[in-house]
């Protein structure tokens, strides 16, 4: 069995908006969500900036008595899933719960919970550890809580593949519906690791920007003066649905998924393959799966982390796959505004890609000021662009050399 799969719902929590509408409008305005960290005392840290969620009230989505059972990454997953479910009209339709699944992953999971209870056990002893400690931090409790909240009894797992997590979750959910194992899937990623260990750990790798005096200008993918990525947090979840199922219940269809590629660099734990060969092959696999030519693609939402090797090698990969057309296709990195959401990045960036198709507006790469050698493609610099988008690609590449690419198409 191989069925067409469409997107019928979307939900997001991000540094530039806690709904899909607010997030996309902020992105089209070129708004940055990066600022000084206020979660902890950053004295002594090389990096003191991040893309934090603002004005988030978990009580809008979660009963107060349930909050103590959840790390913040789970709360974000529930909020994004709630919006996606409402957008898809699933609660009102009451479809067959056994045929609805949830694939939501994270890269690091409950890092904040781990930090907190290390301090508790050191200062107050092991008897003061909450009985909810383990459920709070393990990654599969994100889809677990979502399924409990909505009564979805279908396939339920978490992909954990670093920065490719959200993309892999969506791709595998797509395959699950295609082969007939489910009719509806919630899929995406969630993350909240703006903590002492999260920031300190990436600082130790020299991966983060230290442009602390100019937070809003710190994330600058493809720009010559980039000095590292900026950590963000949030969640992005979409509802995937078999076309015949969506039509039967009269669902609103946002876009169709037509291709998915995944592979490994088999090269290095953090650095991409030289010349982006792994990323290039991943995009080729997705294009082959979709049975389309590179010239059919109108927009690429790049992984675009604002790190030297990622930006250079992803650009080289696009040149390898798209050849002369690489200079004509529109490319942007929305990480320039929201930062790098790690395991949530693929979910949020899938939503940006779908919204570009729906609205005919490509969000920009802000802070692109100085062209870098080797990075000279059309990155939609600084200002959103009105342009018809029929087919969009979303790229995600993670530590360990894991790669994922999804292709979305305007539904017709």
In this structure, are residues 6 and 258 in contact, taking their beta carbons and an 8 Å threshold?
no
Instruction: Respond yes or no: is residue 163 known to be catalytic.
Output: yes
Token pair in block for residue 35 = 């600022």
Alpha-carbon span 91 to 276, nearest angstrom: 43
Other residues' Cβ atoms within 10 Å of the Cβ of residue 310: 27
The CA distance from 128 to 126, in Å, is 5
Q: What does the DSSP 8-state code read for residue 262? A: E
Contacts with 88 (C-beta within 8 Å, 6 or more apart), sequence order: 8, 9, 184, 239, 241, 251, 252
Assign 3-class secondary structure to 285-341: HHHHHHCCCHHHCCEEECCCCCCHHHHHHHHHHHHHHHHHHHHCCEEECCHHHHCEC
Catalytic residue among 82, 168, 254, 303: 303
Choosing from 28, 163, 282, 375, the catalytic residue is 163
Q: Where are the alpha helices (DSSP H) in 161-276?
A: 165-178, 196-204, 243-248
Cα dihedral sign for 383, 331, 234, 224?
negative
Catalytic annotation, pick one of 82, 168, 254, 340: 340
Is 254 known to be catalytic?
no
Catalytic (active-site) positions: 163, 303, 340
């Amino acid at each position: 069995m191989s069925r067409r799969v469409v997107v019928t719902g979307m939900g997001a929590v991000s540094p530039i908006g806690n709904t899909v509408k607010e997030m996309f409008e902020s992105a089209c305005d070129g708004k940055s969500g990066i600022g000084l960290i206020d979660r902890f005392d950053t004295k002594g840290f090389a990096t003191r900036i991040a893309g934090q969620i603002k004005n988030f009230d978990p009580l809008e989505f979660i009963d107060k008595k349930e909050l103590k059972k959840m790390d913040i990454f789970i709360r974000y997953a529930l909020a994004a899933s709630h919006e996606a479910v409402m957008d898809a009209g699933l609660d009102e339709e009451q479809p067959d719960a056994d045929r609805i699944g949830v694939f939501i992953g994270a890269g690091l999971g409950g890092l904040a919970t781990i930090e907190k209870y290390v301090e508790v056990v050191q200062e107050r002893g092991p008897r003061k550890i909450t009985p909810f400690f383990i459920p709070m931090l393990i990654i599969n409790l994100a889809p677990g809580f979502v399924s409990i909240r909505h009564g979805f009894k279908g396939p339920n797992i978490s992909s954990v593949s670093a920065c490719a997590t959200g993309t892999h979750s969506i791709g595998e959910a797509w395959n699950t519906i295609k082969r007939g194992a489910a009719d509806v899937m919630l899929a995406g990623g969630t993350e909240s690791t703006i903590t002492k260990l999260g920031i300190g750990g990436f600082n130790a790798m020299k991966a983060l920007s230290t442009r602390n005096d100019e937070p809003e200008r710190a994330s600058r993918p493809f720009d010559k003066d980039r000095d590292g990525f900026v950590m963000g947090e949030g969640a992005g979840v979409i509802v995937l649905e078999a076309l015949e199922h969506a039509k039967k219940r009269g669902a609103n269809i946002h876009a169709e998924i037509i291709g998915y590629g995944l592979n490994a660099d088999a090269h290095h734990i953090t650095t991409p393959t030289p010349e982006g060969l792994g990323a290039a092959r991943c995009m080729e696999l997705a294009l082959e799966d979709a049975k389309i030519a590179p010239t059919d693609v109108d927009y690429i939402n790049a992984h675009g982390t604002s790190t030297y090797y990622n930006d250079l090698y992803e650009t080289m990969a696009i040149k390898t796959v798209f050849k002369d057309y690489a200079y004509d296709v529109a490319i942007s990195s929305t990480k320039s505004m929201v930062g790098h959401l790690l395991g949530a990045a693929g979910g949020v960036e899938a939503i940006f890609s779908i919204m570009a198709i729906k609205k005919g507006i490509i969000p920009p790469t802000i802070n692109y000021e100085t062209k870098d050698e080797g990075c000279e493609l059309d990155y939609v610099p600084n200002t959103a662009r009105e342009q018809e988008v029929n087919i969009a690609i979303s790229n995600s590449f993670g530590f360990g050399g894991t790669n994922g690419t999804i292709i979305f198409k305007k539904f017709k």
